[in-house]
Chain A
């Protein structure tokens, strides 16, 4: 069998399904984005770029991009630092490493629904039987309404911790794999040159050697933050206090049934993600086809 028939044999079924169940809906959505489509998904009323223009005016959609920016500014550096720190610690110990690794990795098995349930009803519940308030009451602190309080905006603490709990394990494993690929000889050579173990070797050997892993962690993390939906949806629902882009689009499409604006918003988001991916690809080359 020649290469071309073989390619189609391997790729054909996947591509056929992709066309029917992914590209067709995307194309449909693309067409709708240039139409007024209220309580219908039939493109019957062409409005040109009007939906795009509406969304890019000051308003809830641009606010949602701002919410994403705040969220990313909190979650990306925290995830990066904490997962790197825990991976380095894991890499430095010899006894019970598998146990600790399992403990950090186990939350990955939970859904955002279950995690949000625990966070909302048990840890950051705003009344006396919430764990956080129980602990604070030992120090004489009054009950804090974690998800309701606006000044200060404690809900960011709830949103950030639930995501950290669910995703840190994955990034710890990525970093750990990266660390284990660094050749011990590099460190030995540095010691011979008089470098001290600790910050110096970390700064001049470990970090540079982890460059590709670091870029991957940052990028995956950024895209995941950008597509954040579940914890916002489950903890805050339709709240203008913190409504990231996907939550806004969900309510635009499913609740307002405004599929024209909803589709236009999806296209803008897709374009932004493509830009970010292309930008990093130019600089770092993560995900670039190597054939």
Chain B
């Protein structure tokens, strides 16, 4: 009787169960029946212990998921259910936070609208006592309106990787200015190997994690997308200069474009499609495996010898607590237990799978793997040159600036006109946030 296909969960479930049986899939699906029950029982399982839901995006390195499951099991005040999300973490997280089916604890980057709309709670009480053990960049990236909203769990950063042997053969030095970089890129473009890879988008289009250079070209020109007092910073003469240098690089013909994967994957570099690549710290083990000692790193070069200074980004992930958490205090306690107190887990998570910098300074400075060779350079460059993202820089602002940068760098568009359009959009967003 079709009318029985009503929307009551009970009858629908029965219908489905009989279907499962009929299809002979019953055994396989019933084996996992525990999590197909639908209704979240909250604190039910685990001998009366409450349940915490913790969400991660998918880290690409194998072993990471098992590691976070292991950490979660070590927490004895609650049963921690870990969710690992491939593909579109952003959509899943935003839907979750807007509904009653979201996480208690999750990782993401701090964003002003999460604070303004009351989606997350301040964590000053757990971070405050150890605040000095984080770099100022980490604190800036996790703070807004004078409160700290997140605990950094991994710090990521990036470098210009270069092949020592290829640079020597072409007679060029590791670049420290944009002009040197453009010249080196041209000189290294030979024999089917391109000079440089900065992403298939020439670093300016935020697709597939692209747009790697959007902030860098501003930082290395002594400015930023938003100034510290939250004004538009990308229309200075230096910013325009920097964008036109990037355009010169993009149109030199010596840049690798159209690689199968993007700048965050070291494949283009390790497959010898390009002599230099802008890539993350995470790729260093793969690059070492491919080239041994035949590679070096520098930060992104300054606009010129007199303007700006070399820079790199502060990336990574931040653990936050949802305002809708069933028990906010418990969720905070878990974050403190894992990402502030549990040095062993933090070191394991940062250095045993991929390659990251532990956010706790005390930990980073004694981590064995960061003491020698190129890894030691990495830590030094990170401490000297990493710039924090501004949580006031919303996705809509980024999109407007990226559209302008794409038109300028890739499309050869008019610099002043394109930036003026972006400025208008960014100022509208700033006005909204000020309201």
Chain A residues near B (Cβ < 8 Å): 9, 12-13, 16-17, 20, 38-41, 59-60, 120-121, 125-128, 130, 143-151, 236-241, 251, 254-258
Some 22 contacts from A to B, beta carbons below 8 A apart, are: A38-B432, A39-B116, A39-B117, A39-B119, A59-B421, A121-B260, A125-B258, A127-B260, A127-B273, A148-B258, A150-B410, A151-B411, A238-B206, A240-B205, A241-B205, A241-B406, A241-B410, A254-B88, A255-B399, A256-B395, A256-B399, A257-B94
CB of B287 within 8 Å of the partner chain: no
B2 x A148 contact (CB < 8 A): no
| Known pairs A13-B3, A144-B258, A238-B399; A254 contacts B117 (CB<8 A) | no
Minimum CB distance partner of B98 in chain A: A41
Asked whether, in the complex, the Cβ of B257 is within 8 Å of the Cβ of A238, the reply is no
Q: How far is the CA of A236 from the CA of B210 in the complex (A)?
A: 11
Q: Are B399 and A251 in contact (CB under 8 A)?
A: yes
Tell me the bound Cα distance from A144 to B407 in angstroms.
20
How far, in Å, is A154 (CB) from chain B's closest CB?
Answer: 9
B412:A258 contact, CB within 8 angstroms = no
Tell me which residues across on chain B come within 8 A of A241, comparing CB atoms.
205, 406, 410-411
In the complex, what's the smallest C-beta–C-beta distance from A40 to chain B, in angstroms? Answer: 5
Residues of A within 8 A of B7 (CB): 16-17, 20
Q: How far is the CA of A236 from the CA of B257 in the complex (A)?
A: 14
Residue in A16, A38, A127, A257 whose CB lies within 8 Å of B259: A127
Contact B412 A151 (CB under 8 A): yes
A239 interface neighbour in B6, B395, B406, Cβ under 8 Å = B406
**Interface assignment of B114: CB less than 8 Å from any CB of chain A:** yes
Interface string of B99-140 (1 = CB under 8 A from A): 000000000000001101101000000000000000000000
Please state if A59 and B208 are interface contacts (CB–CB under 8 Å): no
Contact B260 A120 (CB under 8 A): yes
Residues in A neighbouring B421, C-beta threshold 8 A: 59
Judge whether B192 is part of the interface by a CB distance below 8 angstroms. yes
Query: Which residues of B approach A to under 8 Å, CB–CB?
Result: 2-3, 5-7, 88, 90-91, 94, 98, 113-114, 116-117, 119, 192, 200-202, 205-208, 210, 256-260, 268, 273, 394-396, 399-400, 402-403, 406-407, 410-412, 421, 425, 432
Which residue of A has the minimal Cβ distance to B95?
A254
A17 to B6, CA, bound (A): 8
- Cβ of A239: which chain B residues have Cβ within 8 Å of it? 201, 205, 207, 406
Q: Decide: A149 and B257 in contact? CB cutoff 8 A.
A: yes
A255 touches B117 (CB 8 A): no
Q: How far is the CA of A125 from the CA of B410 in the complex (A)?
A: 19
**Assuming the A-B contacts A240-B406, A254-B94, A258-B396, are A125 and B192 also in contact, with contact meaning beta carbons closer than 8 angstroms in the complex?**
no
Contacts of B207 in A (CB 8 A): 236-239
Known interface pairs A240-B407, A255-B90; 7 further A-B residue pairs with C-beta atoms within 8 A, sorted by A's residue number: A145-B258, A149-B258, A150-B412, A237-B210, A238-B207, A239-B406, A251-B395
Which residues from B are CB-within-8-Å of A257? 94, 113, 395
A251 to B205 Cα, complex, angstroms: 14
What's the nearest-Cβ distance from chain A to residue B245, in Å?
Answer: 18
Q: How far is the CA of A144 from the CA of B200 in the complex (A)?
A: 12
CA distance A194 to B293 in the complex (A): 83
Q: With contacts A148-B257, A238-B207, A254-B90 known, is A13 near B6, CB below 8 A? A: yes
Give Cα A158–Cα B114 distance, bound, in whole angstroms. Answer: 38
Complex interface: chain B residues within 8 A of A237 (CB): 206-208, 210
User: How near does chain A come to B154, taking the closest CB pair, in angstroms?
Assistant: 22
Residues of B contacting A17 in the complex (Cβ-Cβ under 8 angstroms): 7
- Assess A147 versus B119: contact at CB under 8 Å? Given A20-B7, A127-B260: no
Given A16-B7, A20-B7, A145-B200, the answer on whether A126 and B259 have CB atoms closer than 8 Å is yes
Residue of B nearest to A254 (CB): B91
Chain A residue nearest to B273 (CB atoms) is: A127
Q: How far is the CA of A121 from the CA of B258 in the complex (A)?
A: 10
CA distance A144 to B253 in the complex (A): 11
Which of chain B's residues have a CB closer than 8 A to the CB of A150?
410-412
Chain B residues near A40: list those with CB within 8 A. Answer: 98, 117
Pick the 4 closest A-B CB pairs, nearest first.
A126-B258, A145-B258, A237-B207, A145-B257
- Cα of A257 to Cα of B91 in the assembled complex, Å: 9
Find chain B residues with CB under 8 A from A145 CB.
200, 257-258
Taken together as a complex, chains A and B put the C-alpha atoms of A39 and B200 apart, in Å, by 31
When distances are taken between beta carbons in the complex, the residues of chain A under 8 Å from B88 are 254
**Min CB gap A116→B, angstroms:** 12
> How many whole Å from A100's CB to the nearest CB in chain B?
33
Chain B residues lying within 8 Å of A143, measured Cβ to Cβ, are: 258
Known: A20-B7, A39-B117. A240 touches B403 (CB 8 A): yes
In contact, B114 and A39 (Cβ under 8 angstroms): yes
Complex formed: what's the CA distance from A151 to B432 in Å? 37
Q: What A residues does B403 contact at CB under 8 A?
A: 60, 240
Q: Which residues of B contact A126 (CB under 8 A)?
A: 200, 257-259
Contacts of B91 in A (CB 8 A): 254
From known contacts A13-B2, A125-B258, infer whether A147 and B200 are also in contact, taking CB-CB under 8 Å.
yes
Which residue of chain B lies nearest to A17 when distances are taken between CB atoms in the complex? B7
A40–B432 Cα distance when bound, in Å, is 15
A159-B321 Cα distance, complex, nearest whole Å: 41
A130 contacts across to B, CB distance below 8 A: 258
Given known A-B contacts A149-B257, A255-B90, A240 and B402 have beta carbons under 8 A apart: yes
Docked pose: A239 CA to B409 CA in angstroms: 13
Q: Find the B residue at minimum CB distance from A8.
A: B3
User: Chain B residue with minimal CB distance to A125?
Assistant: B260
Contact (Cβ within 8 A) B258 A146: yes
Closest chain A residue to B91, Cβ basis: A254
Which residues of chain B come closer than 8 Å to A255, judged between CB atoms?
A: 90, 395, 399
For A41, give the chain B residue with the smallest CB separation. B98
Q: Contact: A9 with B3, CB < 8 Å?
A: yes
Bound CA span A40–B98, Å: 6
Output the least CB separation between B110 and chain A (Å).
Answer: 13
Q: Report the Cα distance A40→B403, complex, angstroms.
A: 26
Task: Determine the distance from Cα of A125 to Cα of B260 in the docked complex, in whole angstroms.
Answer: 6
